[in-house]
Chains A and B, each alone.
Chain A
Amino acid sequence: MSQIGFSLKPKRAFAWSGLVPVVYIIFLMIPLYWLLNTSFKTNQEILGAFTLWPKNFTWDNYLTIFTEPVWRAGYINSITYVVLNTLISLVVALPAAYAFSRYNFLGDKHLFFWLLTNRMAPSAVFVLPFFQLYSSVGLIDTHIAVAIAHTLFNLPLAVWILEGFMSGIPREVDETAYIDGYSFPKFFVRIFMPLIKSGIGVAAFFCFMFSWVELLIARTLTITEAKPISAVLTRTVTGEGVDWGLIAAAGILTIVPGALVIYFVRNYIAKGFALGRV
């Protein structure tokens, strides 16, 4: 009897609060649905009639994008520099995070805060100097330029996240490995990295995310060869007679890589977002 009474109460509370996330997700999905809806319409229908779903369903907008080389190239460019950035950030951040989590050294606290300040720097401040800097070293309009420029905000974040995860691994692990005769690089790659692999995953996720969504710097540093997909999109907006159907289709396509990444990390989202700091 008492068991029934016990289970009734949480159940009733659940039924009520269970609505909250559903309502929130509906709120998130409505604008996305509208974009999807618009992408399947002809421009005539978009501007002429207000319809909740496409009356004259068409794939034309998507076909245009897939057949025009500018759009395809935009995709490849974006993915190239995002992946480059993620790799650079991780490779460089891993040893640094280890140093911060294991040792005290001259000026470590100041250095850490200085690194974090770069995460706070408004991109707008750096737009013009970046253009001049990368022009003067001849890297303008290359993928590597954007990848390096994005380390400005991704590297501090990666160090911060990894440091959190590494601090959760007891020092004894390191010491045991050294006693067993591991050299530092061997220990780091064979033993330590597998221990913090969820941390590496989370750091990679955040690097990917912030590099993928950024536009201002990416657009400034590229002209044609490395132009990101999202910059191609803005160019269409400024053209005469806005092609809303095409914009909507392109918008939907820029959401796809992000959705794929989320799908791959779905099991880590809940724990990983704590950044090892709970």
Chain B
Amino acid sequence: MNKTWNNKAWWMVVPVVLLVAFSAIIPLMTVVNYAFQDTFGNNEFYWVGIEWFEDLMESDRFFDALQRNILFSCIILAIEVPLGIMIALSLPKSGWKVNVYLVLMALPLLIPWNVVGTIWQVFSRTDIGLLGNTLVSLGFDYNYTRDVLDAWITIVAMDVWHWTSLVVLLSYSGLVAIPEAYFQAARIDGASKWATFRYIQLPKMRGVLTIAILLRFMDSFKIYTEPMVLTGGGPGNSTTFMSIDLVKMAIGQFDLGPAAAMSLVYFMIILLICYAFFTVVTNMDKAETKTGGAS
């Protein structure tokens, strides 16, 4: 769409900028302040330069948490995106059944995050939970509060339970927007199911899938409440993600300097990954419109 150049449009954006500046820039500057200073209490601060960042780069604790975050995001993206697409493809295109399915699927998305943690706690505990109790009586040595692998499996299962529906709903809304004529053409050409998916459905879903992947990546990388309620970061530190570690450091131990330095690095990592992903996708879009225009 051709837009006109009009700097007066700034006036319409000003409220947003002011509000977000109040909630984002002022707190962020506080964080930046702490990241370069140290204190002996009494609200007296002095400049320490990049000392906290140097400490951070040498700290195993930070890199362990970062690794856990990356691993977690990769696992849940690898499960939720294909699974979500598969479920969306298997949904009928119309009819009352779809509405029932979609309403039921959307339910986990609107449950407060700590309640999600609680649900899975009540569900997987070995003493009162259906899952835990069943697994134990079947002879499995399952206990998510003691075994690292069990804890990870439970957290991944919880996230899949919680968020796959988002991918389903987004993919499905992309799928129903494809005109029927495309499928008729594919049928006439004798295209296989896979070919139809690969060359018609997947490209048409790209816009919504981009949103789904971005949202899922951001939120899984920020994850705090659900694992905090379910495992509290344990057993040991095996499910201590960066957010959990950060809150422990900033509020539990009140180590403001290191926590602030970690905050900034943490934020930067998310920004970089999202920016890279965003750029790649927009470039793909551009390349597509170019070839599309030529043919």
Which A residues fall within an 8 A CB radius of B?
A: 14, 17-21, 24-25, 27-32, 34-35, 38, 46-47, 50, 52, 88, 92-93, 95-96, 98-106, 108, 111, 113, 115-130, 132-133, 148-149, 151-152, 155-156, 159, 167, 171, 209, 212-216, 229-230, 233-234, 237, 244, 247-248, 251, 254-255, 257-259, 261-263, 266-267, 269-275, 277-278
Contact = CB atoms under 8 A, between A and B. Distances in A.
B170 A254 contact: no
B221 interface: yes
A52 B271 CA distance: 46
Given A106-B10, A233-B118, A270 B19 contact: no
Contacts of B263: 122, 124-125
B169 interface: yes
Contact of B229 (A47, A209, A234, A248): A234
B4 interface: yes
Interface string B88-125: 01111000001101111111111111110011101100
A111 B10 CA distance: 10
B115 A233 contact: yes
B294 interface: no
Contacts of B119: 31-32, 34-35, 251
B103 A262 contact: yes
A159 B16 contact: yes
A266 B279 CA distance: 34
A105 B267 contact: no
Given A29-B104, A148-B23, A259-B110, A34 B122 contact: yes
Contacts of A261: 110
A269 B208 contact: no
Contact of A47 (B127, B207, B242): B127
B164 to A, nearest CB: 8
A145 B246 CA distance: 23
B274 interface: yes
Given A99-B12, A128-B259, A277-B211, A123 B104 contact: no
A278 B208 contact: yes
Contacts, number: 288
Nearest to A98: B12
Contacts of A93: 16
Interface in B111-162: 111-115, 118-120, 122-123, 127-131, 133, 161
A254 B111 contact: yes
Interface stretch (B53-61, B70-78, B172-180): B172-180
Contacts of A128: 30, 250-251, 256, 259
Contacts of A126: 23, 27-28
B62 interface: no
Question: Which among A29, A95, A128, A267 has the greatest number of chain B C-beta atoms within 10 A?
Answer: A128
Contacts of A213: 109-113
Nearest to B2: A171
A151 B23 CA distance: 8
Given A31-B119, A123-B222, A258 B246 contact: no
Interface of B: 1-10, 12-13, 15-17, 19-20, 22-24, 26-28, 30-31, 86-87, 89-92, 98-99, 101-115, 118-120, 122-123, 127-131, 133, 161, 164-165, 168-170, 172-174, 176-177, 204, 207-208, 211, 218, 221-222, 224-225, 229, 242-244, 246-247, 250-251, 256, 259, 263, 266-267, 270-271, 274-275, 278
Contact of A25 (B101, B218, B224, B275): B101
Contacts of B172: 270, 273
Given A103-B4, A124-B247, A230-B115, A28 B107 contact: yes
B207 A278 contact: yes
A133 B27 contact: yes
Contacts of A273: 169-170, 172-173, 208
A266 B274 contact: no
Contacts of B176: 270-271
Contacts of A257: 110
Given A100-B13, A103-B3, A152-B23, A124 B120 contact: no
B20 A115 contact: yes
Contacts of B275: 113
A28 B104 contact: yes
A23 B221 CA distance: 28
